[in-house]
Amino acid sequence: MDQVNLIESFAEFKDLKNIDRVTMMSILEDVIRNMITKKYGRSDNYDIIINVDKGHLELFRNREIVDDEWAEDSFDYDENFHISLTEAHKIDADFEIGDEVSEPVQLESFGRRAVLALGQNLRMRVNDLEKDALYRKYKERVGEIVSGEVYQIWKKELLIMDDEGNELLLPKSEMIPNDFYKKGDTLRAIVHGVELKNNLPVIVLSRTAEKFLERLFEQEVPEVFDGIIAIRKIARIPGERAKVAVESYDDRIDPVGACVGMKGSRIHGIVRELRNENIDVINYTSNSSLFIQRALNPAKISSIRLHEDTHKADVFLKADQVSLAIGKGGQNIKLASKLTGYEIDVFRETDGIDAEDVALDEFRDEIEDWIIDELKAIGCDTAKSVLELGAADLVKRTDLEEETIQEVLAVLRSEFEE
């Protein structure tokens, strides 16, 4: 590798790796000085002039002119740092003892092996710098939305290329269940984490993180971006449903209305990005009872009993509101619990309940405790409330097998047949 090829190689690194000019020149000078020091023990008598933009690299060796006799007899004489007066006069007849001679030096003079090592060190230093720059760049962007092109699809993850050709990973576990991409598609995701593996930066993206939904609101709702409206809490079941609690710092602005937009214009873009994820936007409040009531919307709550010591809430509703509070597959109550921080149990109001009805707890001798708890978790706390739902609905709403449900229904029916 000669002087010209070395500087051209370095210029390619600069273009491909986007390294700033000052850092680039510093690296090149450093590796050259290391090469000189390795051969001569020091490099302070060399001037290194670099013009990367023009592809110029010049080396000058500065040597002190000494008396011919001293040069010939002294053990301290070193041709790398000294030059005899006779030799100096061959360059310029006006030189005198004590003057300094500056001469251009070619890289080839250090030997082929030294120059090859120089090129290898240069590439290694540039690659290390690039990896460090990439790590720091994305470490500062954790929590931000980035876009990229799907470059490769694997079984457990997607390889995404950003605008600068950097590789990003989107694991299947961080994808919305309805996400489907093919090579060449563009996607948006949040920078979920950055770590070093085998000294290589690994940038992991996510589309399921709650922060992704928050950043989408910032992009679609100017009041959120400006800080007039704050997103206080988010709970998500990615691709299915989400609840977002918002608060306005300006009494004149309705936070829910601003986030939804005229005829849903603002929230529709977010819903489409999240594969039709159903998003409920509610007003945040520090009043726990009211917050739980809003979180369980659309169900109408009759009363709430809070247990602050255990962070549990007993919610009482009319019979026709229980299924609304639970929601499809238990999504509504699950998200409400996550949003409010309370473990919510729903109960039908006891007023007006058939006097002949029997609480499920009375059947613990015949039905296993965990089955009764599963039924109570969907709002069925009496025998008739279970029978009214029927086998088909119970299969959908619980994790119980149909055979188990049929056995439970048989036990409950026998109670009333007697």
Do 228 and 307 reside in the same domain of the chain?
Answer: yes
- Residue by residue, pLDDT tens for the chain (418 residues) are 455 555 555 555 555 555 667 777 788 888 889 988 888 888 889 888 877 666 677 889 899 888 888 878 788 888 888 888 888 888 888 888 988 888 888 888 888 888 888 888 888 888 888 888 889 899 999 999 999 999 999 999 999 999 888 999 999 999 999 999 999 999 999 999 999 888 889 999 999 999 999 999 999 999 999 999 999 999 999 999 999 999 999 989 999 999 999 988 999 999 999 999 999 999 999 999 999 999 999 899 988 989 988 999 999 888 778 888 888 888 999 999 999 999 998 887 765 445 567 778 888 888 888 888 888 877 787 888 888 888 888 888 888 888 898 998 888 888 877 5
pLDDT for 183 equals 94
Residue 353 belongs to some domain of the structure: no
Q: Assess whether 38 and 132 both reside in one domain.
A: yes
Whether residue 188 lies inside any domain: the answer is: yes
Tell me, yes or no, whether 110 and 197 share the same domain.
Answer: no
355 in a structural domain: no
From 88, 112, 136, give the residue that closes a domain: 136
Domain stop point among 298, 320, 348: 348
pLDDT of residue 15: 54
Residue 176: which CATH number?
2.40.50.140
- Tell me what pLDDT residue 1 has: 44
Last residue of a domain, one of 308, 328, 348: 348
Shared domain for 219 and 312, answered yes or no, is yes
| pLDDT on residue 352 | 47
Same domain, 275 and 339: yes
Q: Is 354 part of any domain?
A: no
Domain span including residue 186 = 142-207
| Domains held by the chain: number | 4
In a domain, 408, yes or no: yes
Q: Are residues 196 and 262 in the same domain?
A: no
Decide: pTM greater than 0.95: no
Strands 312-317 and 343-348: parallel
Q: Residues 217, 344: one domain? A: yes
